[in-house]
Amino acid sequence: MKVLVIGGGGREHAIAEAIARSPKHPEIYAVMAKQNPGIARLCKDFLLEKETNIEWVVEYTTSNKIDVAIIGPEAPLSVGLSNSFESAGIPVVGPKKEVARIEFDKAWARNFMRDNNIDGCPEYRVFSNDEGLKEFIEKLQDVAVKPAGLTGGKGVKIMGDQLADTNEAYEYAKEMLEKGEVVIEEKLEGEEFTLQAFVDGENLAFAPCVQDHKRAFENDLGPNTGGMGSYSDADVILPFMLADDLEIAKKIMKQTVKTLKDVTGVCYKGILYGQFILTKNGPKVIEFNARFGDPEAMNVLPILETDMIDVIDAIANGKLGSLDVKFAKKATVCKYVVPAGYPDDPDADKEIIFGDMGDAILFYSSVYEMDGKIFTTRSRSAAVVGIADTIKKAERIAQEGIENIIGDLHYRSDIGTEALIKKKINHMKEIRGY
């Protein structure tokens, strides 16, 4: 079996590692823009090429007689790599452009939710010019301003965080309008969680819930990033969630998959990522992504007990209904090391030395190797994951591992700690009022 992994980040290293664990001993191939040392070591062969360069990617895939491909990042999905794979007769895990749109066009995604009565949609409006913009912002008062296109998680600005008042919100929205449509939506208050599912067009197999930490610095301060780290609990839900919250989130995702097919005529095959915010009125949808989260993939894939090759085959060939997808009942904590100054002014091209990881698992992300040494880029460098019976123990494992990564780097030591988790539980109690 020859499996191709598209992408070269931490998420894709976790995907490749899950595939490599298969007792079927698949041959792994990869396409990545930069050589991820972890993925490269797991591969029989790889192509260093932009993942969006469809022509080259498909040529590489057919000439290596790849049996199935799995697409990690959003960019190749947004340019229709899955469509091209399908035309070339290559089974693929990763939705076609028509339905991956749920991620890369936030305006379309919100209209899709509203028009089809998908639960959990906040009040919002899409603007393509500034007519009525100021009035709508003033009506909602507390808003989130979102450019409609892909921004790597960094284009969204929220009142009270990056935006001081309605005036600043209006100015930012106007600035963003120069690049395309802008979504203005009500600011939702609560704790966020991620729910990821394998989807075969019809059936969904859910992974445990994960909470990511977008902010660069301890105690959830500082600018938004791609994600500084994340945790999951042995119990499938997170410590601040109720079992019902998960059921509501699952229902929303199932409704979304079914409706995507009804509306577009295209089956959603791949990973669906639901980002939810748990408000006093239950879970609301922040956004959907058409892929695994990065870092969230690194929480769930290492504890996947089912053979990843069987999962990939079931997704690509519509057989997920008859596969029992299981995850170990373990807690996980993932922490990213990033270049000093990230995300505003990251210190690239600095050497990183990886010491003893102990019981932690290391996933490489945006680094490169030269003369046997590993260097930073401008993005997140590497992640360590601890797995244990409790979040507390998993945190210790991750922390002890990350302390042995030496370089001009930064990480958040608070992710997964008891103190931060208590804060989140209390925050949710306050919001729910009990």
Q: How far is the C-alpha of 367 from the C-alpha of 409, rounded, in Å?
A: 12
Question: Does 296 engage in binding with ligand GLY (CB under 6 A)?
Answer: yes
Question: Does 156 engage in binding with ligand AMP (CB under 6 A)?
Answer: yes
Question: Does 286 engage in binding with ligand AMP (CB under 6 A)?
Answer: yes
Alpha carbons within 13 A on the beta-carbon side of 221: 4
CB of 169 to ligand AMP, least distance (A): 12
Question: Does 431 engage in binding with ligand AMP (CB under 6 A)?
Answer: no
Residue 227: contacted member of ligand AMP, ligand GLY, none (CB under 5 to 8 Å, by partner type): ligand GLY
Torsion sign across C-alpha atoms 393, 397, 398, 400 = positive
CB atoms within 10 A of CB 218: 16
Residue 294: contacted member of ligand AMP, ligand GLY, none (CB under 5 to 8 Å, by partner type): ligand GLY
Rule CB under 6 A: choose which of 201, 227, 302, 339 binds ligand GLY: 227
Name the residue among 106, 97, 94 with its Cα closest to residue 12.
94
What residues numbered 96-155 form the site for ligand GLY, per CB under 6 A?
153
What residues numbered 145-184 form the site for ligand GLY, per CB under 6 A?
153
> 359 vs 16, 223, 243, CA distance in Å?
19, 31, 31
CB of 152 to ligand GLY, least distance (A): 8
Question: Does 287 engage in binding with ligand AMP (CB under 6 A)?
Answer: yes
Question: Does 153 engage in binding with ligand AMP (CB under 6 A)?
Answer: yes
Give Dmax (Cα) for the chain: 60
How many H helices and E strands in the chain?
A: 14, 25
Stretch that binds ligand AMP, among 56-64, 181-189, 228-236, 251-259 (CB under 6 A): 181-189
CA torsion, ordered 10, 251, 112, 148, to nearest 10 deg = -30
Helix (H) or strand (E) holding 147: strand 143-147
Residue 78: contacted member of ligand AMP, ligand GLY, none (CB under 5 to 8 Å, by partner type): none
Question: Does 214 engage in binding with ligand AMP (CB under 6 A)?
Answer: yes
What residues numbered 34-73 form the site for ligand GLY, per CB under 6 A?
none
Residue 188: contacted member of ligand GLY, ligand AMP, none (CB under 5 to 8 Å, by partner type): ligand AMP
Q: How far is the C-alpha of 400 from the C-alpha of 384, rounded, in Å?
A: 9
3-state DSSP helix/strand/coil percent for the chain, to nearest 5? Answer: 35, 30, 35
CB of 205 to ligand GLY, least distance (A): 19
Contact by Cβ (8 Å): 395, 231: yes
Contact by Cβ (8 Å): 194, 241: no
Name the residue among 50, 18, 48, 35 with its Cα closest to residue 364.
35
Residue 142: contacted member of ligand AMP, ligand GLY, none (CB under 5 to 8 Å, by partner type): none
Question: Does 184 engage in binding with ligand AMP (CB under 6 A)?
Answer: no
Question: Does 144 engage in binding with ligand AMP (CB under 6 A)?
Answer: yes
Question: Does 176 engage in binding with ligand AMP (CB under 6 A)?
Answer: no
3-state secondary structure of 378: coil
Vertex 275, ends 272 and 278: CA angle to 5°? 140
Residue 289: contacted member of ligand GLY, ligand AMP, none (CB under 5 to 8 Å, by partner type): ligand GLY
Residues that bind ligand GLY (CB under 6 A): 153, 212, 227, 289, 293-296
Residues that bind ligand AMP (CB under 6 A): 122, 144, 153, 156, 158, 185, 187-188, 192, 214, 224, 275, 286-287
